[in-house]
Structure 1
Amino acid sequence: MTEGIYVLANDIVYDQLVAFLNSLEANADTNTGKHYPVCIVPYDNRLEKVKDEVKNRSNVEIFADTTAIERWEDFATQVWQTHPSTFQTWEQNGITGVYRLGMHRRFCCFDGPFDKFIYFDADILVLNSLNYIFQQLHQNDFVVYDFQYKDPTHVYNVKSNKLLDIFPLARINSEIFCAGMYGSKKGIFNQEKRNYLLSQLKQDEAEILYMNAPDQTILNYMVMKSGISSYNFALQLPENQRTGCCVTSPHFEVRDNILYDKGYPLTYIHYIGLSSGLFTRVCSGENIDFPYREIFLHYRYLYEPDKRPKFKSKPKAYNAPPSLATRILRKLGLAS
């Protein structure tokens, strides 16, 4: 049984990808002295920087099964075609086709080279061993570690009257998850299961999908509707041992380039909600401060510390309101 790591990326998230790969090598101990094999699922064809990076890493490859990519993009398109209003809404917002279609490529992991895998978004740093997640996949088909169950509004259309007919409240409160990190197995969503899911969506279940997080809502529906066994460490671990994972949590303690929560090291930190452009600007030398920036910079430049930006100006907050000058320029159409 092969075990490996998937990450969704392209050149736009290059700096985050490098930081992710470095953090994985530094912290995800396999107890074998070897690094996990990593497969980069391409968000799109912007991959020149990514390809150059892969040349320097013997354990990293780019997912090249174009048939699988087409299969899952077609599946995602068919899913959204079952929805009563999605395409009209997207079109009104200037979106052609499926919104963020590349995000749905994360589903390719179910047809990839690894029998058991953990998937990560590129805006994540791995800070601890992943062995326990792989071990849990001996008992369950799908494993997560997050607190999305506290907020279903970014997973399903909670205004739908049909939601609680399809998934009882108890399941909504305990089974939904963030699609940014999950462990699972190859082949659990075969053609027969995909056809079943589409048939259910066509029977007026599609309206529960949340069109602003299209890949996340589909994956949650796939897991919950298929009846596969899922497990969330955030619900199963003793409360005093559960660690957070989100950059919006301000209380994590930094020790030796690892983050701790209640004395326990985080398994991963997810810089969710921060734009990829922010990381690019910081790595280009712009002194913008954001939560846990030093941790990110440590792993981004782990193997090339001499290239780490040396900031000379005062830091400005990533979420600071624009200056008066910028507001005037925007009003004149001279600034974005």
Structure 2
Amino acid sequence: MTNGIYILANDVVYDQLVALLNSIEANAGKKYPICIIPYDDRLELVRREIKTRGNVQLFEDSDAIARWDNFAVEVWQTHPTIISEWRQKGITGIFRKGMHRRFSLFDGPFESYIYLDADILILNSLDFVFEQLNKHDWVVYDFQYNDPSHVYNVRSPKLLEVFPQERIEKEIFCAGFYATKRGIFDKEQREWLLLQLMLGESEILYPSAPDQTILNYMVMRSGISSYNFAHELPESDRTGCCVTSPHFQEQDYILYDKGNRLTYLHYIGLSASLFTRLCAGENIGFPYRDLFLHYRYLYEPEKRPKFNGKPKAYNQPPNLATKILRKLNFIKGI
């Protein structure tokens, strides 16, 4: 296979996965095969959904998954304190270990690919992203460079020794949407990166976004050719992508930013449980909610939940009873 799309998912994000798959089909077509990489073993709903779609398969290369799971463990073992800090917080092993599964795609079946988090909707053709891979090894379209504190440990004095400020301001990216090629990080390259981390560079990693910080480090430290449409497109043509942007305009179930069609919308920062509860009939409001519901129920509109009254804000503070129950660990917070 040549070009394809990978999505990291499990049953926890099932409703988001269905919406994403439907949005890809509606706005990017069926030309690209899609492969779901398992976050973990909770896959009953995912497997059932795959059976209904001819161009979607499950990534089941256990050797590749194991190889890159081990790599993630080795990366964090080079950090002087984080393993013990996670243990003190009750985290066994690696924090958000399943998120590191996206690394195994470097050994996946697609020669070139776009990776997507499940909390995304595709709203435009993806051809231009793949075309850019003819010139570069890593392609993104986001504005994460405005906030390096969620990519690296900006308090580390080592950071500017490893990467000059101008590279940090230009090259960092969000790990939720990117395009790259198979095999760009071979065994020799991985071992070299681990060596640099063991020699002291691991302190610049940001453990609260463990997969994102590693990916940024791998790309930037290796010096591979990278390209960000957010930098390269004329200001008049570029668009935002995050649900936190309130100014997007909707027309025919597509979003526009000052007249320009968005490539994707990322519901970043919204808990998967919000989407599950919404689809179960709970009247919760969040930005671009109806757009999500449109794509989630694109092929089964009769199942779309019907709501009466004003929706409850997703970030509404919990009432006293809920606070008490959470404190007693009877229910989990969002």
2:95 alignment counterpart? 99
- Aligned partner (choices 132, 152, 157) of residue 136 of structure 1: 132
Q: Could you report, residue by residue, the CA deviation over 1:73-93 in whole angstroms, capped at 9, with x for unpaired residues?
A: 000000000000010110111
Change (3 A) 1:329 1:215: closer
1:240 aligned counterpart, secondary structure: coil
1:11 alignment counterpart? 11
Structure 1 stretches of 4+ with a deviation exceeding 4 A read 328-336
Counterpart AA for 1:10: N
**Distance across 2 between alignment mates of 1:312 and 1:161:** 54
**Distance across 2 between alignment mates of 1:46 and 1:334:** 23
**Distance across 2 between alignment mates of 1:332 and 1:113:** 47
**Distance across 2 between alignment mates of 1:331 and 1:222:** 40
Instruction: Please tell me whether residue 178 in structure 1 is matched to residue 178 in structure 2.
Output: no
1:120 aligned counterpart, secondary structure: strand
2:52 alignment counterpart? 56
309-318 or 185-194, which moves further after superposition? 309-318
- Aligned partner (choices 146, 150, 156) of residue 152 of structure 2: 156
Change (3 A) 1:313 1:331: farther
1:91 aligned counterpart, secondary structure: helix
Q: Which blocks of at least 5 consecutive residues in structure 2 are unaligned?
A: none
Instruction: Please tell me whether residue 197 in structure 1 is matched to residue 175 in structure 2.
Output: no
Instruction: Please tell me whether residue 66 in structure 1 is matched to residue 62 in structure 2.
Output: yes
1:177 aligned counterpart, secondary structure: coil
Residues 237-316 of structure 1 mapped to structure 2, 5 A cutoff: 237-316=233-312
Change (3 A) 1:103 1:328: closer
**Distance across 2 between alignment mates of 1:326 and 1:67:** 44
1:133: Cα distance to partner? 0.3
311-320 or 285-294, which moves further after superposition? 311-320
- Aligned partner (choices 113, 119, 126) of residue 117 of structure 1: 113
1:84 aligned counterpart, secondary structure: coil
1:188 alignment counterpart? 184
Q: Which blocks of at least 5 consecutive residues in structure 1 are unaligned?
A: none
- Aligned partner (choices 36, 39, 50) of residue 32 of structure 2: 36
**Distance across 2 between alignment mates of 1:121 and 1:94:** 26
Q: Could you report, residue by residue, the CA deviation over 1:163-208 in whole angstroms, capped at 9, with x for unpaired residues?
A: 0010000000000000000000000011011011001111100000
**Distance across 2 between alignment mates of 1:233 and 1:311:** 39
Change (3 A) 1:6 1:335: closer
Give the structure-2-normalised TM-score. 0.97
1:260 aligned counterpart, secondary structure: strand
Residue-pair matches, total: 332
**Distance across 1 between alignment mates of 2:330 and 2:12:** 24
1:240: Cα distance to partner? 1.4
Counterpart AA for 1:13: V
1:90 alignment counterpart? 86
1:241 aligned counterpart, secondary structure: coil
**Distance across 2 between alignment mates of 1:293 and 1:271:** 10
1:312: Cα distance to partner? 2.8
Instruction: Please tell me whether residue 167 in structure 1 is matched to residue 175 in structure 2.
Output: no
133-142 or 324-333, which moves further after superposition? 324-333
1:334: Cα distance to partner? 5.6
**Distance across 1 between alignment mates of 2:41 and 2:331:** 29
**Distance across 1 between alignment mates of 2:327 and 2:297:** 38
1:174 aligned counterpart, secondary structure: helix
1:241: Cα distance to partner? 1.0
**Distance across 2 between alignment mates of 1:35 and 1:20:** 15
1:24 alignment counterpart? 24
Counterpart AA for 1:7: I
323-332 or 45-54, which moves further after superposition? 323-332
**Distance across 1 between alignment mates of 2:308 and 2:242:** 29
CA RMSD in angstroms comes to 1.2
Change (3 A) 1:195 1:330: closer
**Distance across 2 between alignment mates of 1:332 and 1:101:** 27
1:36: Cα distance to partner? 1.4
179-188 or 325-334, which moves further after superposition? 325-334
Change (3 A) 1:335 1:140: closer
Give the structure-1-normalised TM-score. 0.96
**Distance across 1 between alignment mates of 2:84 and 2:146:** 30
1:314: Cα distance to partner? 3.0
1:322: Cα distance to partner? 1.5
1:269: Cα distance to partner? 0.3
2:236 aligned counterpart, secondary structure: helix
> Share of identical aligned residues, percent?
68
